[in-house]
Structure 1
Amino acid sequence: MRVPAKPPLEGLKRSLEKKRAKGERLPRDGFLRETFSLPRQEARAKAREWLERWPKQAYWTEIESWAERPGDMIEFTMRRLPSAD
């Protein structure tokens, strides 16, 4: 029995290189992330906005990390799945 030859991958390579050059990459885990640096009250409001717009039960939305910065600023990263499917 004859083993089929490998298909040419040049088209796929070019496509991947173009997307990478444009920065069109999702993290390997599939989550969308956005980092904010806001005053404490605005940071709370932004986190609530995310959790209301993309509920945790459907999108696995959460505050991935946060840190206090000088001047009562909070730097935090929110993450969620791109869709609820």
Structure 2
Amino acid sequence: MRRYQQRPPLEGLRREIARARQEKSESKSTSGFVRETYRLSRGQARDKAREWFSTWPKAAYWTEVESWRPLPGEGDRIEFTMRRLPTAD
């Protein structure tokens, strides 16, 4: 006859996950920047970056390519993050 152990309560884990998510969302909102990350082919990535710069000019929105890296093993695909201010002051 097998004996099954009772599972430990998960409430502590749930609280910790909720706390970590809350801290993460607060840190995003306090930076003041809007960020979007994309995974596109190199040509599409350049086009998307140009689109951001034409839609939100660098001088007014501080638009920039925050990170840009080729994805290993995925040919010419690039992962990049664009960053800008939500409004021009």
Query: Do the structures match in fold with TM over 0.5?
Result: yes
SS in 2 for 1:83: coil
Identity across matched positions, percent: 61
**Residue 71 of structure 1 aligns with which residue?**
75
- Structure with greater helix share of residues: 2
Is there any run of 5+ residues in structure 2 with no aligned partner, and where? 1-21
Which amino acid letter does the alignment assign opposite residue 81 of structure 2?
T
Question: Structure 2 CA distance, aligned partners of 1:32 and 1:39?
Answer: 22
RMSD after superposition: 1.7
Q: Are residue 45 (structure 1) and residue 47 (structure 2) matched?
A: yes
User: 2:86: which partner in 1?
Assistant: 82
**Count of matched residue pairs:** 64
Q: Which runs of 5+ in 1 are unaligned?
A: 1-19
TM-score by length of 1: 0.68
TM-superposition CA deviations, 1:4-50 (whole Å, max 9, x none): xxxxxxxxxxxxxxxx6xx6984321000000000000000000000
Relative to the length of structure 2, the TM-score reads 0.66
For 1:1-85, list aligned pairs within 5 A. 26-69=28-71, 70-85=74-89
